[in-house]
A = this chain, B = another copy of it.
């Protein structure tokens, strides 16, 4: 087995983490068999790994044997979240812009074909605009669109392969060809526009967070406006340069940190 690259990769750890990753807000509870089937790990090994996670406090078992996250997962989650230096780094950048311009700002990182909310500041005029922390529906969001527009064509095709768009508002694009067209114009435009496509009262513009060395997109920032007070026209005239400045700052942070997709 000499020169084997896989010698320095632990499959067991990979499996254990993949099990832990099956738990989250949308699926707080799972059964052993379920885990075994989803991960493709055979039942005994699944049992061993789950049992380990239970003993360490990452999972816990109810009376009916269903599994849930344990306190240790909660505290580790805490630390992994707040110990992530990009989060700590983008906070002051967004705070500064927020206090200077009084605009709602959002930022997110790519994880697979989802966006993970990184840090956000909201103006009170954007009432009840509580976005999910893990975002699907990239096609209907400013941050999602600009990410899609900057993806490698292979990745983009893979995204479209099993896409089933939902009509979230009357303005949501659900026709695949229309979405493709929108992505193309987003790419040439350099920033994305979400005109009430995700939520009725909200217009957003988005720009990419790029790793400037690898030229790959790793996330996005967006500015969000209440459509009652702002027209898309005004926004494009007055706020694009601010958006792009913010995106550039964030990209520098990302690049220095060496985050890649």
What is the interface of chain A, defined by CB distance below 8 A to chain B?
7-10, 12-17, 20-21, 23-29, 47-49, 51-53, 55-56, 58, 60-63, 68-88, 109-111, 116-118, 133-134, 218, 257-259
A62 and B134 contacting across the interface, CB-CB below 8 Å: no
Known A-B contacts A71-B109, A109-B74, A134-B75; the reply to A49 vs B10 at CB < 8 A is yes
**Min C-beta distance of A23 to chain B, whole Å:** 5
How far apart sit A157 and B48, CA to CA, in the bound complex (Å)?
34
B48, B81, B118, B259: the one contacting A8 at CB < 8 Å is B48
Q: A27-B83, A28-B84 are in contact. List 17 more A-B contacts (CB 8 A).
A: A9-B51, A12-B12, A12-B13, A17-B76, A25-B82, A28-B83, A63-B258, A69-B80, A69-B83, A69-B84, A70-B259, A71-B218, A74-B80, A77-B78, A77-B79, A77-B80, A78-B116
How far apart sit A230 and B257, CA to CA, in the bound complex (Å)?
47
Q: Which residues of B contact A133 (CB under 8 A)?
A: 78, 82
How far apart sit A73 and B17, CA to CA, in the bound complex (Å)?
10
Q: Which residue of the partner chain B has the closest CB to A114?
A: B75
How far apart sit A79 and B72, CA to CA, in the bound complex (Å)?
13
A17 and B58 contacting across the interface, CB-CB below 8 Å: yes
B83 and A17 contacting across the interface, CB-CB below 8 Å: no
**Min C-beta distance of A125 to chain B, whole Å:** 19
How far apart sit A86 and B10, CA to CA, in the bound complex (Å)?
32
How far apart sit A218 and B8, CA to CA, in the bound complex (Å)?
39
How far apart sit A109 and B71, CA to CA, in the bound complex (Å)?
8
Q: Which residues of B contact A28 (CB under 8 A)?
A: 83-85, 88
Q: Which residue of the partner chain B has the closest CB to A62?
A: B258
Q: Which residue of the partner chain B has the closest CB to A51?
A: B8
B8, B48, B257: the one contacting A10 at CB < 8 Å is B48
Q: Which residues of B contact A71 (CB under 8 A)?
A: 84, 86, 109-111, 116, 218, 259
Q: Which residue of the partner chain B has the closest CB to A85?
A: B28
What are 6 A-B interface contacts by the 8 Å CB criterion? A8-B47, A9-B52, A68-B257, A73-B84, A74-B118, A77-B81
B51, B62, B80: the one contacting A80 at CB < 8 Å is B80
Q: Which residues of B contact A88 (CB under 8 A)?
A: 25, 28
Q: Which residues of B contact A257 (CB under 8 A)?
A: 60, 62, 68
Q: Which residues of B contact A55 (CB under 8 A)?
A: 9
B12, B61, B74: the one contacting A84 at CB < 8 Å is B74
